[in-house]
């Protein structure tokens, strides 16, 4: 063979060389890969996805049965979706894909990012067990132990099972506090997010709250001087004197931590970021209806509560703990230098009401006039009423 012939044979191309030279990008996917594909057909029992491989991948019916209606509806032809390669080639030669596995992988990345950033996440409570709540985090399930619920929720807890069941379906704000993919463990905490949430709520409430408003709140703390009530992220103080018109010596006589109460907004101090609340302003002021209960000339049995130089104070024994004053001049027909000559603290005596002044919030009493002829008509009228 001549050199010329050899040269010609070498230069000539093989008729199948175009197959070797052509770039068809027919990559073989690897199990565990996450690929962005395009839905090419949405069948009743399968979805075909183009992942730029030798053939379309398939999302099988078993997984589709577990997809919610909204997600299934989104998987329309032409939609780009992330898919997880479950099996590059099953026994029928199909590429088996998973939409939820890809979504879960992305959600694990999101969970880790939330853990790193400590951003607040809002999710829906989808279930509960004896230990806490299950919360949807994308396609993952986050777990909130009861110890990681907000203080406000824990105050409301009576029966644990019933309490947790009532929260299912609600949206809850929390922070991711633990991510362990190997153990499939995602722990979130409402309590950790509460401070930021409450700060935002407090700022909003301080701006919108108006004096004279009525709000529903929950008692969150009790001190000797009053009760602190949370009205939706902002705590206000109901001072002991504003708890009730009735006589109480300590807040626990009337309220307990966790009680739901109605409160009246008394005062808003923007500079000190404080709110004063009242419960008694939502009740009838006993002095506004005093004339329905007490009248001049009425005989009442009272208990001496305090002695002063000018007279003795006495409790009328009603539910409001109202007191009247027996002036020193009304203690006896005889001259009295000091009330202790006639009564002492704790004594129970019969007195006559000689003055009722709602505006001054005062009731005048008298021992001296109990048998006075001045009130004979009143006594007779009351006696006749009792007989009837």
119: helix, strand or coil: coil
pLDDT tens-digit readout, 163-206: 788 889 889 889 999 999 889 899 999 988 877 777 777 888 88
Contact 154, 146 (CB under 8 A): yes
| Residue, of 206 and 319, whose pLDDT is higher | 206
The tokens describing 119, both together, are: 């951003």
pTM recorded for the entire structure: 0.48
State yes or no: pLDDT of 76 exceeds 70: yes
pLDDT, residue 320, reads 81
Residue 273, pLDDT score? 84
- Give which of 169, 85, 183, 98 is closest to 139, Cα–Cα: 98
Window from 22-36, 136-150, 281-295, 315-329 with minimum mean pLDDT: 22-36
> 20-56: per-residue pLDDT in tens?
444 444 567 888 888 888 888 888 788 888 888 888 8
Per-residue pLDDT of 239-258, as tens digits, reads: 999 999 887 889 999 999 98
At 129 the pLDDT is 87
**Burial of 243 from C-beta contacts in 10 A (0-12 / 13-18 / 19+):** buried
Q: pLDDT tens, 333-353?
A: 899 999 999 999 999 999 999
Per-residue pLDDT band for 57 (boundaries 50, 70, 90) equals: confident
Environment class of residue 304 by beta-carbon count within 10 Å: exposed (0-12), middle (13-18) or buried (19+)? buried
pLDDT for 387 beyond 50: yes
Q: Over the range 21-35, which residues count as b (16 or more CB within 10 Å of their CB) and which as e?
A: eeeeeeeebeeeeeb
Residue 326 to residue 344: CA distance in whole angstroms? 12
Q: Among 347, 349, 381, which residue's Cα sits nearest to residue 368?
A: 349
Q: 138: closest CA among 206, 232, 46, 71?
A: 71
pLDDT at residue 7 tops 70:
no
Mean pLDDT across 142-160? 74
Element containing residue 232 per DSSP (H, E): none
- Weakest mean pLDDT among 106-110, 116-120, 316-320: 316-320
Distance between CA atoms of residues 56 and 41, nearest Å: 10
pLDDT at 289: 85
- The percentage of residues in the chain with a pLDDT greater than 90, rounded to a whole number, is 37
Report the half-sphere exposure of 289 (CA within 13 A, side-chain side): 8
> What are the structure tokens assigned to 371, written together?
């048998």
C-alpha torsion 304→305→310→311, nearest 10: -10
- CA 6/CA 14 separation, integer angstroms: 15
Beta bridge partner(s), residue 137: 140
**pLDDT above 50: residue 19:** no
DSSP secondary structure of 240-306: GGGT-SS--SSGGGT--TT-EEEEEEEEEETTTTEEEEESGGGS--GGGSHHHH--TT-EEEEEEEE
Mean pLDDT across 201-226: 90
Higher-pLDDT residue of 156 and 290 is 290
What confidence tens digit (pLDDT) does each residue in 89-108 have? 888 888 888 888 888 888 89
- Whether 98 contacts 59, CB under 8 Å: yes
Residue 63: pLDDT band with limits 50, 70, 90: confident
Q: What is the mean pLDDT of the chain?
A: 84
* pLDDT at site 247: 77
Query: In which band, very low, low, confident or very high, does the pLDDT at 214 lie, cut at 50, 70 and 90?
Result: very high
Q: What is the pLDDT of residue 318?
A: 83
> E strand or H helix at 38, and its extent?
strand 34-42
Query: For 222-230, what is the mean pLDDT?
Result: 94
φ and ψ at residue 358, rounded to 5 degrees: -60, -35
Task: Please report which confidence band the pLDDT of residue 158 belongs to, taking 50, 70 and 90 as the band edges.
Answer: low
Report the distance separating Cα 215 and Cα 242, nearest Å: 15
């Amino acid at each position: 063979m001549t050199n010329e012939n050899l040269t010609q044979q070498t230069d000539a191309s093989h008729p199948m060389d175009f197959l070797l030279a052509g770039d068809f990008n027919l990559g073989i996917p690897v199990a565990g890969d996450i690929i962005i594909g395009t839905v090419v057909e949405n069948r009743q029992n399968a979805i075909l996805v183009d992942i730029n491989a030798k053939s379309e991948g398939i999302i099988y019916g078993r997984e589709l049965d577990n997809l919610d209606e909204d997600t299934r509806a989104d998987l329309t032809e032409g939609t780009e979706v992330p898919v997880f390669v479950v099996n590059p080639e099953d026994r029928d030669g199909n590429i088996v894909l998973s939409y939820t596995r890809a979504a879960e992988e992305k959600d694990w990345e999101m969970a880790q990012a939330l853990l790193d950033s400590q951003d607040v996440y809002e999710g829906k409570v989808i279930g509960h067990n004896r230990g806490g709540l299950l919360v949807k985090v994308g396609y993952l399930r986050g777990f909130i132990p009861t110890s990681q619920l907000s203080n406000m929720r824990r105050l409301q807890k009576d029966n644990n099972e019933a309490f947790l069941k009532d929260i299912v379906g609600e949206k809850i704000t929390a922070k991711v506090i633990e991510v362990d993919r190997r153990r499939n463990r995602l722990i979130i905490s409402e309590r950790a997010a509460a401070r930021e949430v409450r700060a935002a709520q407090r700022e909003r409430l301080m701006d919108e709250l108006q004096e004279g408003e009525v709000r529903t709140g929950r008692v969150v703390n009790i001190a000797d001087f009053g009760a602190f009530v949370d009205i939706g992220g902002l705590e206000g103080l109901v001072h002991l004197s504003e708890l009730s018109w009735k006589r109480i010596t300590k807040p626990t006589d009337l309220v307990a931590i966790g009680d739901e109460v109605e409160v009246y907004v008394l005062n808003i101090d923007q500079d000190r970021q404080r709110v004063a609340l009242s419960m008694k302003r939502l009740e009838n002021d006993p002095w506004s209806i005093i004339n329905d209960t007490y009248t001049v000339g009425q005989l009442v049995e009272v208990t001496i509560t305090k002695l002063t130089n000018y007279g003795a104070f006495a409790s009328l024994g009603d539910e409001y703990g109202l007191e009247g004053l027996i002036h020193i001049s009304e203690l006896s027909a005889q001259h009295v230098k000091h009330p202790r000559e006639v009564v002492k603290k704790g004594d129970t005596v019969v007195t006559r009401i000689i003055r009722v002044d709602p505006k001054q919030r005062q009731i005048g009493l008298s021992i001296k006039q109990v048998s006075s002829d001045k009130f004979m008509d009143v006594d007779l009228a009351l006696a006749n009423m009792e007989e009837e």
